[in-house]
Amino acid sequence: MRESWDDLIIETVSRLLVPFVQTYALYVLAHGHSSPGGGFQGGCAFAASLILLALVWSPKGLKKRMPEKALLSSSALGVGLFYAGLGALCMAFGGSFLDYAALDPLLPKGKVMARYYGMALVETGVQFTVMSVMALIFLRLLEGEGGCSSSS
């Protein structure tokens, strides 16, 4: 049985709000390399939607759906594969580290668009990393309060 109608309202509004927040986070990412925003801001917004879910339902539910190992892997994927990997790929094609113009043979439409796509890929990696780390920080802070420890 529900404790109060306030719980029902908060849960319903949160359930409706989270997809819009996540869509907005992807919008910020998509337009971040050509306007204000980008991976960091988009990652923070996406993490905020996950934190909202954890606050409304249960931090343990977030931990169950996104275990710490998955969040750590996601943060490493963002930094390692997208950022370092793309930089190494640029060097393999004869450019400097993160010189996206060197990726012209791989990415379509010339050097200008190669830079555009390269920046978008790096910003995607930043978003993965920021979202994962912010969610991890939230979960770790809860463990310090005794609210979501692994042992309980």
14 in a structural domain:
yes
130 in a structural domain:
yes
Provide the residue type at 139 as one letter: L
Contact 95, 80 (CB under 8 A): no
How far apart, in whole angstroms, are the C-alpha atoms of residue 127 and residue 121? 10
How far apart, in whole angstroms, are the C-alpha atoms of residue 56 and residue 34? 35
> Considering only 43-47, 75-79, 121-125, 143-147, which range has the smallest mean pLDDT?
143-147
74 in a structural domain:
yes
Structural domain harbouring 84: 5-145
151 in a structural domain:
no
How far apart, in whole angstroms, are the C-alpha atoms of residue 127 and residue 58? 24
Q: Tokens 């539910």 — which residue? A: 61
Q: Of the candidates 96, 85, 95, 82, which has an alpha carbon nearest to the alpha carbon of residue 130? A: 82
99 in a structural domain:
yes
According to the model, what pLDDT value does residue 79 have? Answer: 86
Domain count, the chain: 1
> Considering only 105-114, 123-132, 143-152, which range has the smallest mean pLDDT?
143-152
77 in a structural domain:
yes
Contact 93, 105 (CB under 8 A): yes
- Indicate the angle between helix axes 110-145 and 39-56, nearest 10 degrees: 30
37-89: pLDDT as tens digits: 788 999 999 999 999 988 887 888 788 888 889 999 988 988 888 889 999 99
Q: What is the DSSP letter of 3?
A: S
B/e letters for 33-42, b = 16+ CB within 10 Å, e = fewer, are beeebbbbbb
